[in-house]
Chains A and B, each alone.
Chain A
């Protein structure tokens, strides 16, 4: 029945998939950044082979004529480059000071995009017609609601001021009746204002449901951007950065995954252009507010677009409001990477580890008699369930506090599947209060299946697996109450827990139940170890399902894990030796093991 390992034909799928994964490796080179330009070289924007980039048409460094008073800063070179390992929405701008920047100098980056970027926001005739119709309806629906709401807001503010003033002097005036009257006036006005706001929200929601909101946003973006493009150079998210606070390229080493070349060079990353509110629109602001309830933004940010060329310049402003000195940095094109080269070693290790585990699983099919060390907590599962059966008490099982998307919860569910089969065998009762509705649905299905597989579907009681609440301490209170009322003979705490771990386990201990916990939360482990009879520590939680089932394929994966762990220990040891060797030789470059250090370092 197994999907992958069930029959010989399907087994062939595994090597094919792994081969496919390995074929992805060469992509590692695709997203790597172009080498940063040498100082004094013209701008080199990202991929040197890309059309329209600086490498194709290197512009000469051009210092624009300075207006008086004189320039605030002197720069010897500036260049634009693609930002490595990103989604193609950023550009790096580097420059070199010809002389140290004077105090108070600020740096801004300005961009001139191609007018083609407007096309994305242009409404078609059909869209324009839909928007006009939706806005017409919005205007008629709103009527005088906005004006009424604004007037009422003033009334509320005045009433609030009056009652606050009265409250402040109430100990002297003792005019409680007057204060009560002011309170009533305030709440009446506030209630009316809230009611008006609700009606406005309703009308706005209907406008959005008709698609008007999205179309309007698109139109506004077009209007802001087209007006901004008329001014040619647009401000960006890098504006007015004090010269002393300009990062060096080395400060962005995580983007490169290594110490970049020219690490000391000043380097700024631009990711947005900002289009300010156009004057034509600003003139209509009052009308738009009162008729359509629309409040215009002072500016709209536009992320840089992948593959779109931008002209870039730096503006250096002086401390006393002098005209900025403008330095052309050339054109640049942000390009997205297809592989995060920063994660190359991570990818290799993960692939290698996956291969080891899959190989171990395949080996386990040939030799199913694998030795797995004894795990006391799991050996005690039968004892705990047996005790509950003898005492005629239920077994309580908790799946942890996290959602099903967490692997610890999935593991807890897997263990629940195994435990429910034993409970069905022993004919005992199982209680599973859940904190997450998805976990509840899955747990119910898993337990039902467990009972069915043991030939006891009649013994399954769906009402014993139920959702309590998703609130942390309400859930804790409920489970503690179950422990005290129902007195379960065995408590299982599997999965991830937070501050409630001790509350649960200590309450369980006070009822005399045998308790088995399993968590991968290092912070809660001490509490479970203290209060539970057996505790599965960290990885034992993930091994439990395989251990209880004794299925060779699952046990094989445990063996693979052990090999992976041994490999990891070797790598850590190797790294330690290399760093000690490097330290002993005074970090001298050119040592024979430098290449090994560079390879191991990112791990």
Chain B
């Protein structure tokens, strides 16, 4: 049992991890087929895990209703909506105004998705605009040198991206062919392409090197927390 829980997963991680690394450099047909095979296995595992997910959702909300925890009324709605979507997907009987079958563009299932799911998703996404405003207000308060630089950079970038900023061009070019002191589109592009890109690349370089290190730790069984195992 201990072998199955601890050592076998590490052996599998080692063999598969190393194989995938080597296969990345081998372009043969067999290598490609093997890589496709691994991808297929992942899809199969995800398929099984989806059943666990559904059970978890139902169990979580059932317990919430049973214990009458705060907000349990929402659990009724969740379970009801879950049931409705599932039934509309499984039942083939035609309903008035909807196409028969469960996988047709005019079916109830698709109608529910297009007229309920999508508007609700769009609503959540649109709230982002207001959240950005409040976050920007907090970030742009010039309380320190860094915050002031951020404020100035943000103002230049925003002005460079709107038509008004394009009209505000003042002064002669600082150097031959260079920008004017006030040329928001140019400075905005410069901010994005030079300091911003440099910082992002620095972060990403660290991320990629770290990812390789984590992969090595996992392949060689040094990092095993993700298996639920200790040391």
Contacts and interface: CB of A to CB of B under 8 A. Distances in A.
A358 interface: yes
Interface string A449-490: 100010000000001001111111110110001000100000
Say whether chain A's binding surface is mostly helix, strand, loop, or mixed. helix
B223 A499 contact: no
B217 A3 contact: no
Nearest to A404: B226
B225 A485 contact: no
A17 interface: yes
B223 A545 contact: yes
Given A417-B226, A463-B63, A557-B216, A539 B120 contact: no
A539 B27 contact: no
Given A407-B211, A466-B60, A467-B53, A553 B28 contact: no
A403 B206 CA distance: 21
Contact of B132 (A187, A438, A502): A502
Interface residues on A, range: 35 or more
Contacts of B121: 471-474
B213 A31 contact: no
A85 B52 contact: no
Interface string A1-26: 11111000000001001000100100
Interface string B102-136: 00101000000000010011001101100110111
Contacts of B27: 31, 85-87, 336-340
Interface residues on B, range: 35 or more
Contact of A557 (B60, B131, B205, B213): B213
- Give the most central of B22, B31, B138, B220: most A CB within 10 Å: B220
B178 interface: no
A221 interface: no
A473 B120 contact: yes
B72 to A, nearest CB: 10
Contacts of B205: 565, 568
Given A190-B99, A449-B228, A503-B128, A565 B46 contact: no
Contacts of B10: 3
Nearest to B138: A530
Nearest to B122: A473
A295 B7 CA distance: 53
B94 interface: yes
A537 B199 CA distance: 12
B226 A542 contact: no
B106 A531 contact: no
B50 A520 contact: no
Given A347-B25, A441-B49, A471-B121, A499 B225 contact: no
A442 interface: yes
A17 B71 contact: no
Interface string B70-91: 1100100000000000000000
- Give the most central of A24, A198, A541: most B CB within 10 Å: A198
Contacts of B189: none
Contact of A194 (B26, B53, B101, B117): B101
Contacts of A445: 227-228
Interface in A513-528: 520, 522, 525-527
Contacts of A270: none
B126 to A, nearest CB: 10
B226 A414 contact: yes
A340 B25 contact: yes
A85 B28 CA distance: 9
A437 B53 contact: yes
B194 interface: no
Interface string A361-385: 1000000000000000000000000
Contacts of A554: 217, 222-223
A387 interface: no
A187 B128 CA distance: 41
A407 B215 contact: yes
A191 B101 CA distance: 8
B170 interface: no
A4 B7 CA distance: 10
A417 B225 contact: yes
A357 interface: yes
Contacts of A542: 207, 210-211, 213-214
Contact of B220 (A4, A453, A470): A4
B77 to A, nearest CB: 12
Given A336-B28, A361-B222, A539 B228 contact: no
Interface string B13-28: 0100010011011111
A3 B7 contact: yes
Say whether chain B's binding surface is mostly helix, strand, loop, or mixed. helix
A338 B28 contact: yes
Given A453-B230, A473-B121, A414 B223 contact: yes
Contacts of B74: 481
B162 interface: no
Interface in B173-207: 200, 203-207
Given A473-B124, A506-B135, A3 B60 contact: no
A155 to B, nearest CB: 15
Given A417-B225, A506-B135, A463 B59 contact: yes
Interface in A494-513: 499, 502-503, 506
Contacts of B49: 436-438, 440-441
Contacts of B220: 3-5, 14, 358
Contacts of B97: 187
A45 interface: no
Contact of A502 (B56, B104, B128, B200): B128
Given A537-B203, A542-B211, A557-B217, A438 B29 contact: no
Contacts of A354: 212, 216
Contacts of B54: 467
A350 interface: yes
Interface string A394-427: 0000000001010100110110011000000000
A565 B206 contact: yes
A449 B222 contact: no
25 contacts: A4-B14, A4-B222, A87-B28, A194-B101, A197-B101, A198-B100, A336-B28, A336-B29, A339-B25, A350-B212, A357-B213, A410-B226, A437-B51, A446-B225, A453-B230, A467-B54, A467-B57, A481-B71, A485-B71, A506-B135, A522-B204, A525-B203, A527-B135, A538-B203, A539-B207
Interface of B: 6-7, 10-11, 14, 18, 21-22, 24-29, 31-32, 42, 45-46, 49-54, 56-57, 59-60, 63, 70-71, 74, 92, 94, 97, 99-101, 104, 106, 117, 120-121, 124-125, 127-128, 131-132, 134-136, 138-139, 200, 203-207, 209-218, 220-223, 225-231
Given A21-B22, A358-B216, A413-B225, 4 more contacts: A198-B101, A417-B228, A446-B225, A449-B228
Interface of A: 1-5, 14, 17, 21, 24, 31, 85-89, 187, 190-191, 194-195, 197-198, 306, 336-340, 343, 347, 350, 353-354, 357-358, 361, 403, 405, 407, 410-411, 413-414, 417-418, 436-438, 440-442, 445-446, 448-449, 453, 463, 466-474, 476-477, 481, 485, 499, 502-503, 506, 520, 522, 525-527, 529-531, 537-539, 541-543, 545, 549, 551, 553-554, 557-558, 560-561, 564-565, 568
